[in-house]
Amino acid sequence: MFELLDLKQGSSYAGDIDQLILMITIITGVWFLLTAGMFFWLLFRFRAKKDESGQYVTGDEPQLKRWVTWPHMLILLCDIAVIVMAVNVWYTVKQDLPEADATIRIIAQQWAWTFVHPGPDGELDTPDDIRTVDRLYLQEGITYHYKLSSVDVLHDFSVPIFRLKQDAVPGREITGWFKPTVQGEYGIQCAEMCGIGHGIMGARLILQSASDHEFWIQSNSPTPVAQVTGQ
């Protein structure tokens, strides 16, 4: 279904999120069709007829109450099913933190994203880090940790292709993870109202193959490689 809508999945957990949304849509959809169908059928079945006057039904009798209590129980069961599935996905995306192959820093501000990529040494917060504005370069197929912060107000790091949204809170550094699974160029947005420029606070995500990414790192590092490795 999501393939039909051409909503590309670009992270290891994008499929889990889509699956969850699909399940919720199906469960609520079935109930919606059932209740709406019932409603219209009742309207039709008990429509005004000649020689028949309406009557007031209190709904106290057990055989009438059943129409409310049984669906109620079934919906509670569905609720529990949805909660179990949701907690599962939530755990994978937000609570679990698989070992990182690389760590990046994301700094939100009104109205731009600054990305700090580890340089050739693979370590963050060293002089060879590569800082970019509004362009995030990542390698496909490896697990990233991100450290997200904001210098001014609330922002939200939203990457539709990853199915990831994470608030950036001033004064806090929030760690999370993702694992890109495709290559190409995609959008990043701010998903938390942050002032006059919120709507145009977009950035680009460039997902590269291992060799392309290596080349990008080598050609963009601010300090020469020789200096960093001490050669």
Partner 1 sequence: MKWRNRVLGASLLLAAVGCVSGETQHERGEALYGYCEQCHGDAGQGNADFRTPAIAGLQDWYIEAQLQKFRIGARGDHPDDLDGLRMRPMSRTLATDGEVALVSAYVASLDPVDPPDTMVGGDPVAGRVLFNTCIECHGERAEGRRDKSAPSLLNQSDWYLVAQLHKFRSGIRGADTLDTTGIQMRPNALALENDQAVRDVVAYIETLDN
Shortest Å, Cβ 194 to ligand HEC: 11
- Which residue in this structure is represented by tokens 């919606």? 32
Separation CA 124–CA 83 (nearest Å): 37
- Residue 84 lies near ligand HEC (rule: CB under 6 A): no
155 binds Cu ion (CB under 5 A): yes
| Signed CA dihedral, 44, 45, 49, 54: sign only | negative
Q: Which is closer to Cu ion, CB of 121 or CB of 167?
A: 167
Q: Which residue's CB is nearer to partner 1, number 130 or number 138?
A: 130
Among the listed residues 111, 107, 136, the one whose alpha carbon sits nearest the alpha carbon of residue 199: 111
Q: Is 159 in the site for Cu ion (CB under 5 A)?
A: no
Distance CA 226, CA 231 (A): 5
Nearer to partner 1, 98 or 197 (CB): 197
For 196, phi and psi rounded to 5 degrees? Answer: -60, -30
Nearer to partner 1, 8 or 204 (CB): 204
- Is 190 a binding residue for Cu ion by CB under 5 A? The answer is yes
Measured from the CB of residue 151, what is the shortest distance to partner 1 in angstroms? 7
Cβ contact 159:205 at 8 Å = yes
Per rule CB under 5 A, is residue 106 in the interface with Cu ion? no
The reply on whether position 43 binds ligand HEC by CB under 6 A is no
> According to the binding rule CB under 6 A, does residue 196 interact with ligand HEC?
yes
Q: Between the CA of residue 216 and those of 103, 125, 126, 220, 222, what are the distances in Å?
A: 16, 18, 17, 6, 12
User: Where does this chain bind partner 1 (CB under 8 A)?
Assistant: 107, 109-112, 114, 131-133, 151, 196-197, 200-201
State the residues that interact with ligand HEC by CB under 6 A: 196-197
